Amino acid sequence: MSITVVGSINIDIVALTDQYPSRGETIFGKKIEYFSGGKGANQATAVAKLGKQVNMIGAVGNDFHGDKLVDTLNKARVNTDFIKRSQFLATGTAIITIDQTAENTMLVLKSANEDLLPEDIESAFSEINQSEVLLVQMEVPQETVIRAMELAKKKGMYVVLDPAPAEGITVKALDYADVITPNRQETKHMIGIDVIDKETAIEAGRAFDKMGVKNSIIKMADKGCIVYQSGEWEYLPSIPVTPLDTVGAGDSFAGALACAISDGYDLITAAKFASIVGALKVTKLGAQTGIPTLEEVEAFCKERGLTYYGLEEKTF
């Protein structure tokens, strides 16, 4: 059995600086790096690094960066058979700035990601028959995401919607999601609630429930998350770490969540595992290079005295 990811594939151009320039200002940065990225590719890589089989459905340009990104996914043991080569759009690019607090800003040029069409999804799904979970985000066309979710429901797959970025969200996608995982910005964009604490996160969960989404994980960054399920909720605190790069933390969380759900675990258990993986990711640079392997997660848990569903028989 496997997990299927539909989403973006980008080259990340990452600039490190002590502080962001003001509008119209020029300052000197510290370093620039080029990484493989894109929310879809990041999530697929997280699934693969955590030991699961994963199909990646996405699009890249017929160019150097496209070659590099597909090669990186292959090396991570992601199935790239369903990646489309756009003949008229370049590979997607994200221009990312990270300051000394590890916070980031992004300018994403979707490019070839816009060429992932509903018929591409239909073609891929006609060959995918042993997948339990679909993981989607909103950096590819909305109609493409909706079609993937429709086909996944027909196949009996569990659908995880990471409604990111906020600008790409369509409320229609909520109709097909088994669980959604919005952060503060995405929650405010969708339902107008500014999640600043547990109380407002619970309020957001109730609002999503009224919209038909019974299960949600409202992420509050270093304040933890609320797992909301059909009127019941549980607060999961964050795991304290020294952050280096928050790019890809949400994608690592989503990938880990999908892995635990695929293994048959409940949403709270899955979210606890995802929180550990997401916390470990922010201690490393690079959206994909910083994603931990299952062995690294186990070592991190041993060091911190943590446990997750795969370690419940072990005592640290």
| pLDDT for position 271 | 97
Has residue 97 been placed in a domain?
Answer: no
78 is in an annotated binding site: no
Q: How many domains would you assign to the chain?
A: 1
pLDDT, tens digit, for every residue of 225-272? 999 999 999 999 999 999 988 889 999 999 999 999 999 999 999 999
Has residue 49 been placed in a domain?
Answer: yes
Has residue 26 been placed in a domain?
Answer: no
Tokens found for residue 143: 């109609």
Has residue 100 been placed in a domain?
Answer: no
**Dihedral in degrees, nearest 10, Cα atoms 37, 44, 215, 114:** 50
| pLDDT for position 312 | 60
Has residue 131 been placed in a domain?
Answer: yes
Catalytic residue among 120, 162, 178, 251: 251
pTM recorded for the entire structure: 0.92
10 is in an annotated binding site: yes
Hey, what amino acid is at 286? G
- Residue 159 domain boundaries: 2-10+38-91+111-313
Tokens found for residue 78: 């992601």
Has residue 98 been placed in a domain?
Answer: no
Tokens found for residue 54: 């994963």
- Strand partners of residue 86: 61
Under 8 Å between Cβ of 4 and 149: no
- Domain holding 242: CATH number? 3.40.1190.20
Distance in angstroms (rounded) separating the CA atoms of residues 103 and 246 = 6
pLDDT, tens digit, for every residue of 181-206? 999 999 999 999 999 999 999 999 99
Has residue 25 been placed in a domain?
Answer: no
302 is in an annotated binding site: no
251 in active site: yes
